[in-house]
Amino acid sequence: MKNKLQQHPINILLADDDREDRIIFDKALQEIPIATNLSIVKDGARLMQLLDANTGPLPDILFLDLSMPYKTGFECLAEIKENEKLKALPVVMLTASFTRGLELENNLKHTLEGMGAQDYIRKTGNFEQLKLVLEQTLLTVMKKAG
């Protein structure tokens, strides 16, 4: 086991309906040098129920899949950023490989950032790249938290 960079783990909430993506995400977190606690929900409706019912501290960061059943990532992001209790929650959007062209993908990223997303990560089949992106994203969250 690697030494972790900080004493207190970052509390991560992952909302993703794809079982394989959830497993890979968890494995990538375990291999980066940042201590984390991961909680998972499998659809957008359950995510919003969990966040609405939460009376304790919010997660330190939410990784939110764009394409989920019951409520999409777009719908969840809009609800989170319109809710006084939730709007400060850092949200990183996740999506499968975008095949419609770089210009459309850049428009999507710009739209999500305009809605309040902190970042946008395209899911790739490259495990090492996923680890690097997750580590960089979590380091950014740690810096902003002070």
Q: What is the pLDDT of residues 78-119, one digit of tens each?
A: 999 999 999 999 999 988 755 566 777 788 788 888 888 988
Give the Å distances, CA to CA, from 20 to 10, 26, 28, 73, 118: 22, 10, 12, 18, 24
d(CA 11, CA 35): 9
d(CA 44, CA 5): 31
Give the chain's mean pLDDT. Answer: 87
**In this predicted structure, what is the pLDDT of residue 99?**
59
pTM equals 0.89
Give the number of other CB atoms < 10 A from CB of residue 56. Answer: 4
Asked if 12 and 38 count as a contact pair (C-beta separation under 8 A), the reply is yes
So what's the architecture of 10-140 in CATH? 3-Layer(aba) Sandwich (3.40)
**In this predicted structure, what is the pLDDT of residue 3?**
53
Which comes out higher in pLDDT, residue 51 or 142? Answer: 51
Please say if the pLDDT value at position 38 is more than 90.
yes
**In this predicted structure, what is the pLDDT of residue 138?**
92
